[in-house]
């Protein structure tokens, strides 16, 4: 494969509590994908919907509990659930009915914003929340053997009280009701007792935290609980960055993420047009300092989703860092460009929009399902005429390909540890062993891209 220019971007790998029970719960999250509902997915008739309707259960809590189950046991990704615009209305309530056996009242915009906040925050602070839950159970066995849905309900309640400062009486009442309806009365009683203990501790400013003392291993375990990260990450960052910088990094990872929107110029949408839409939606924003088509959004992404701006292809959620990569490639009309590890396709779509309908982007990826999504999005963004997807492993494809191109982009798979504020679930899905495996994979991909 003749490749006139190679732009390689393998991302840089950043060089006692109730730990036994927490370890058992953590181990359960690493099981292969399992179904969270044994009920067959079938269309629900209007009469049955009315029959299964429960108006007493908080809709955002029911949806949050089911989302957390899907993420932990169903292989779903927290960021995709929030950004693709699929987490709303009947679709979301359908998951609730199939999992819990009933529907609640429809979600309004406030409910959807709460779902996003609660799901992301509960995942982000999972280790810390589990530490508190385990201690308040007063029985390690009770915590480690707790059924998944009950644990998710408790996590939601703890997060709402400890991190969101919601009115305790409402949090206790609503989560107890959810546990009773979704599980059984005894589960509601357990939730009631544990949440009331938490409220007393918080009111007395006496929430238990592990002490930062002992040897390096003990301090790493304490920091992992306080800042809710895996122990191996804390030890790695402390080793290479020092404890003070490691703490700063974890604080950043736990902060509310900001997002960027890219105006889709291929549909004739300018940044000024997008600014006007955001003003109408009352979404706070600021212009990118580096890229003319990008706008930074700290809050209000759900408003953008609900308004249909993403679904209509008028804009895309895309990090400025990804946009800067495309700026380095500098796609020009008439050029042929190979995107070696293309899915999910953000940079592919942006490069294609720069071609003004002339040229071609070869989007290669090993994941057929993600390429299918890329194709669908390309049609939505009206750039499918200049994108050709290729389902292949670059390491074998490069040896036999006759594709001619002007430029090559390799954004190699990485650990993702630099985007933990946006990918709340990723910290729990990475292992120390992944780091070495990724280094080997990146080397092999770079060799293949340079052929």
Question: How far from each other are the two terminal CA atoms of the chain, in whole angstroms?
Answer: 6
Cα separation, 401 vs 286, in Å, equals 44
Characterize 232-251 residue by residue with b for buried, 16 or more Cβ atoms within 10 angstroms of its Cβ, and e for exposed: ebbbbbbeeeebeebbebbe
Q: Burial, 370: exposed, middle or buried (Cβ in 10 Å; 0-12, 13-18, 19+)?
A: middle
Question: Are 415 and 434 within 8 A, CB to CB?
Answer: yes
Characterize 81-95 residue by residue with b for buried, 16 or more Cβ atoms within 10 angstroms of its Cβ, and e for exposed: bbbebebbeeebbbb
Question: CB neighbours of 173 closer than 8 A, spacing ≥ 6?
Answer: none
Q: Is 347 annotated as a binding residue?
A: yes
How many other C-beta atoms can be found within 10 angstroms of the C-beta atom of residue 375?
16
Q: Is 345 annotated as a binding residue?
A: yes
Q: Is 78 annotated as a binding residue?
A: no
Cα separation, 246 vs 239, in Å, equals 9
Q: Is 40 annotated as a binding residue?
A: no
The DSSP output letter for 445 is: H
Question: Are 176 and 217 within 8 A, CB to CB?
Answer: no
**CA 83 remoteness from chain centre:** 9
Q: Is 111 annotated as a binding residue?
A: no
Cα separation, 379 vs 359, in Å, equals 16
Q: Is 17 annotated as a binding residue?
A: no
**CA 188 remoteness from chain centre:** 29
Q: Is 393 annotated as a binding residue?
A: yes
Q: Is 416 annotated as a binding residue?
A: no
Alpha helix stretches (DSSP H) within 163-208: 168-182, 185-203
Region of residue 194 (left: phi > 0; alpha: psi -120 to 50; beta: else)? alpha
Question: Are 296 and 260 within 8 A, CB to CB?
Answer: yes
Cα separation, 325 vs 11, in Å, equals 12
Question: CB neighbours of 406 closer than 8 A, spacing ≥ 6?
Answer: 4, 5, 335, 336, 337
How many other C-beta atoms can be found within 10 angstroms of the C-beta atom of residue 48?
13
Cα separation, 127 vs 322, in Å, equals 30
How many CA atoms are closer than 13 Å to the CA of 174, on its beta-carbon side? 21
- Token reading at 125: 């602070």
- Give the annotated binding-site residues for S-adenosyl-L-methionine: 341-347, 365, 393, 411
- Give the annotated binding-site residues: 341-347, 365, 393, 411
């Amino acid at each position: 494969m003749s490749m006139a220019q190679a732009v390689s971007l393998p991302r840089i790998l950043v060089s006692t509590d109730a730990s036994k029970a927490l370890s058992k719960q953590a181990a359960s999250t690493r099981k292969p994908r399992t179904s969270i509902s044994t009920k067959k997915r079938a269309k629900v008739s209007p009469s049955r919907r009315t029959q299964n309707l429960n108006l007493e259960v908080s809709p955002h809590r029911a949806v949050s509990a089911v989302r957390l189950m899907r993420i932990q046991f169903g292989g779903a990704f927290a960021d995709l659930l929030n950004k693709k615009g699929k987490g709303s209305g009947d679709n979301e309530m359908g998951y609730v009915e199939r999992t819990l056996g009933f529907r609640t009242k429809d979600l309004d915009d406030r409910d959807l914003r709460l779902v996003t906040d609660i799901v992301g925050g509960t995942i982000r602070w999972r280790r810390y929340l589990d530490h508190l839950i385990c201690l308040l159970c007063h029985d390690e066995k009770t915590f480690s053997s707790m059924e998944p849905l009950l644990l998710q309900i408790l996590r939601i309640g703890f997060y709402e009280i400890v991190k969101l400062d919601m009115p305790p009486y409402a949090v206790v009442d609503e989560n107890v009701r959810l546990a009773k309806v979704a599980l059984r009365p005894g589960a509601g009683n357990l939730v009631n007792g544990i949440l009331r203990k938490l409220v007393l501790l918080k009111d007395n400013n006496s929430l238990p935290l592990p002490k930062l003392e002992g040897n390096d291993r003990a301090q790493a375990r304490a920091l992992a609980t306080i800042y809710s990260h895996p122990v191996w990450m804390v030890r790695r960052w402390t080793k290479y960055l020092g404890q003070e910088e490691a703490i700063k990094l974890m604080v950043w990872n736990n902060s509310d993420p900001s997002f960027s929107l890219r105006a889709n110029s291929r549909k004739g949408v300018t940044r000024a047009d997008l600014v006007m839409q955001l003003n109408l939606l009352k979404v706070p924003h600021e212009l990118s300092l580096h890229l003319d088509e990008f706008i930074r959004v700290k809050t209000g992404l759900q408003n953008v989703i609900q308004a249909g701006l993403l679904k209509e292809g008028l804009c895309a959620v895309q990090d400025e860092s990804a946009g800067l990569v495309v700026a380095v490639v500098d796609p020009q009309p008439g050029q042929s460009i190979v995107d070696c590890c293309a899915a999910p396709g953000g940079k592919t779509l942006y490069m294609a929009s720069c071609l003004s309908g002339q040229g071609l982007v070869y989007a290669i990826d090993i994941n057929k399902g993600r390429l299918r999504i890329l194709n669908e999005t390309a049609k939505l963004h009206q750039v499918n005429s200049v994108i050709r997807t290729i389902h292949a492993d670059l390491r074998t494809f490069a040896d036999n390909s006759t594709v001619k191109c002007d430029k090559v982009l390799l954004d190699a798979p990485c650990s993702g540890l630099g985007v933990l504020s946006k990918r709340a679930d990723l910290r729990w899905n990475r292992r120390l062993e992944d780091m070495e495996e990724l280094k080997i994979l990146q080397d092999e991909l770079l060799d293949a891209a340079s052929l």
